Amino acid sequence: MSVGDAHASLPAAPWRIGVDVGGTFTDMVLADAAGVTRSFKVPSVPDDPSEGVLRVLRAAANAFGEPVEALLDSCGLFVHGSTVATNTMLEGKGATVGLLTTRGFRDSLEIRRGFRENQWDHRRPFPPVLVPRYLRLPVGGRMDRDGREIEPFVAADVEAALEEFGLERVEAIAIALINSFLNPIHEQACAEIIRGTWDGDPDLVSLSSEIMPIMGEYERTSTTVVNAYLAPRVVPYLKELNARLAALGLRRPFLLVQSNGGMTSVERIATRPVNLLLSGPAAGVGALNAYRKASKTGNLISMEIGGTSCDVMLMGRGAVPVHDELMVAGYHVATPSVDIHTIGAGGGTIAGVDEGGMLFVGPRGAGAEPGPACYGFGGTEPTVTDAQLVLGRLRPGPYADGSISLDRDLADSAIKRFVAEPLGLSVEDAAGGIVRVVEQHLLLAVQRISIERGRDPREFTLVAAGGAGPMHGAPVGRTLGCARVYVPRHSGVFCALGMLHTNVRHDITRVFLSTIDDADPDELEAGFSRLEDEARAMLAGEGFNGDTVRLARELDLSYRGQQWVVRVALGDGGGRDAADVRKRFEEEYDRLYGHTQPEGTIEISNQRVVGTGMLPGLKLGGVRNAAGDPEPLETRSAFVSPEIGWRDIPVYAGADLRPGHGIDGPLLVEERTTTVLVGAGDRLEIDEANNLVIRLST
């Protein structure tokens, strides 16, 4: 049964539920093993994200004529993507953190890397350091570069620091000592003293040797501090939501999507909330995996545009890259994260005219409250959604199952006041300008994650997702040179659907310093074996054993003298064959940078194991093939493109389009959670999986 069928009955139990809390909407997808799915969308509640979760569950229960308790009682898997960690960083509302560091390194956190990310922007101030100097306190003791103790640990320093932390009402403590990634005993001694004497919550103590045991003093310290900064805000929210859902009938604790694109339990993430910084958008990995077979290609670029932002992700040959470099609100975080590029360009992105008389769009957004002007919730500034409504691409009236209603007059008024009159344009021309500017931003975002990563977007299918994505997919895809745009039926709830196709995943790292030629194969193998044992134990604790466990080995490699590493997946040899490792590294290095050093010395910095707990596959539900040509709902005057201008075009109901249908553009398709624009010369087809494929004109 398709998402467009508004009269679907409750699927056969047990079912899976995925809930994605976004900045503007909270999305939910319910699916059973047979592929019967239903989607729901309600406005988010920024002040209380958990209320948004409960609100969308109530909407689903009402649609089925069942109480929420019945919906949760038969749920076999509940997956949640939370923006709480991200918003805590963006809003600067984390905890008061105390930092214990090695004597003489008190200011490392504030010095940062010692250089600017943008060398040409030397006036922009750094964001405030998360731990002020008076809360960064030194501890005696020192490990050398080989992990040997050269100065004894001074317990009295920890006790003195705790007294200071108590006076300053510190809520969480981060411990980051020099070279602890090689030998953590001093950090563990600190933690033992704290947990035995501190008046605070002993669970709110973060050790760098546990959070991210890597070489890189600043990155390791920054990541540990961010973890401590988030914990008192994120963990209580998750535990409270888990308890509320359990009280309503949920039999098993819900799972959370991590930044690495995999899932984990609330219990395990409670000690590492830093791994939730990309919790919502990272579920796009699961969605791309779900649509990889349906689209018949492993080369996909997703452009997921919601109400607040656009998240761009690239899948090459069936894999989405994962790296350890993440910047959130100006703070460095070294945690395994899928490669996502995010910009402030969504349906609720605000447009206006700056002091120089230039039109701008974003990055500021209207959010869920007050939202775009056309929502009628009090917003007065024009947004991209208002522009699409003025251009005739959106239908005035109820949207998203009636949770909002679009008012054309309010959109006209906002664009006229803030854009059209200042620029001396008609309201329609101003709306067209807003859309063209935001699509330029979208184009650059896709190029950032494709061309700048050594990928040719012409070799990829563009997946237009999110509530606003299918409106921009064809224009952006055409400019990129893509041959087609893939629009999932569940486009408007893309990440919520992806959560139902996501496996449990754990990334485990161990420092290993050597060159590939000098590395002892037995020592390398022993290191991987220890990491694999750890991964198996973690997965076993979450119910995965035997054939449900997948283990993959990786190495962090670089040429001698280079600071940044390349993460390389290993083959069946597991790293024992130096020639195979060199070949794999040079292929990836050449793709990224366009050259190699054929005789260069290749150094190893880390061993990695990725442990995956495989969940049973979930089918994408199909429908009957087309029995005849579809009839449009209406013919509407809409702005097609700058080249075509305004034209009367047919508007189809998504529920009326079935596999086998093919229609030439220009046209619009209205789904329950999104609207699709097909340009002049393009052809819309419905594939066997009941998704929309736009074959672009050259």
Over the stretch 313-371, which tens digit does the pLDDT of each residue have? Answer: 999 999 999 998 898 988 999 999 999 999 989 999 999 999 999 999 999 999 878 99
Residue 575 has what pLDDT?
A: 87
Residue 622 has what pLDDT?
A: 64
Spell out a b/e string for 384-415, using b for 16 or more CB atoms within 10 Å of the CB, else e.
Answer: bbbbbbbbbbbbeeebbbebbebbbebbbbbb
Question: Can you tell me whether residue 254 is helix, strand or coil?
Answer: coil
Residue 624 has what pLDDT?
A: 72
Structural domain total, the chain: 3
**Which residue among 225, 255, 273 closes a domain?**
225
Does one domain contain both 646 and 608?
A: no
What are the distances in angstroms from CA 525 to CA 184, 520, 528, 529, 577?
A: 22, 9, 5, 6, 11
Q: Does residue 55 lie within any of the structural domains? A: no
Q: Does residue 440 lie within any of the structural domains? A: no
Peptide bond into 488 cis (omega under 30): no
Q: Does residue 404 lie within any of the structural domains? A: no
Residue 97 has what pLDDT?
A: 98
Q: What is the 3-state secondary structure (H, E, C) of 372-384?
A: CHHHCCCCCCCEH
Q: Does residue 498 lie within any of the structural domains? A: no
Does one domain contain both 605 and 640?
A: no
CA distance 24 to 365: 10
Q: Does residue 438 lie within any of the structural domains? A: no
Q: Which of 340, 492, 362, 353 is nearest to 438 (CA)?
A: 362
Does one domain contain both 666 and 546?
A: no
What are the distances in angstroms from CA 62 to CA 9, 10, 58, 246, 304?
A: 12, 11, 6, 19, 28
Distance of CA 230 to the CA centre of its chain: 17
CA distance 643 to 679: 11
pTM of structure: 0.91
**Which residue among 225, 247, 278 closes a domain?**
225
For 396-468, where are the alpha helices, taking DSSP H only? 408-415, 421-423, 427-449
Q: Strands 404-406 and 331-333: what pairing?
A: unpaired
Q: For residue 517, what is the domain's CATH number? A: 3.30.1490
> In degrees to the nearest 10, what's the CA dihedral of 338, 331, 469, 52?
100
Domain range for 116 is 94-225
CA distance 290 to 301: 14
Does one domain contain both 640 and 608?
A: no
Return the DSSP state at 416.
I
**Which residue among 178, 208, 225 closes a domain?**
225
Does one domain contain both 110 and 219?
A: yes
Does one domain contain both 642 and 609?
A: no
Does one domain contain both 601 and 512?
A: yes
CA distance 676 to 678: 7
Q: Does residue 376 lie within any of the structural domains? A: no
Does one domain contain both 609 and 646?
A: no
Residue 460 has what pLDDT?
A: 98
CA distance 312 to 323: 15
Does one domain contain both 102 and 197?
A: yes
Does one domain contain both 509 and 579?
A: yes
Does one domain contain both 520 and 573?
A: yes
Q: Does residue 606 lie within any of the structural domains? A: yes
What is the enclosing helix (H) or strand (E) of 488? none
Long-range contacts, 234-240 (Cβ 8 Å, 24+)? 234/82, 234/84, 234/85, 234/88, 234/273, 234/276, 235/203, 235/270, 235/273, 237/49, 237/50, 237/82, 237/84, 238/82, 238/84, 238/266, 238/269, 238/270, 239/266, 239/270, 240/50
Which residues does the chain have with pLDDT short of 50? 1-7
Q: Does residue 32 lie within any of the structural domains? A: no
Does one domain contain both 686 and 586?
A: no
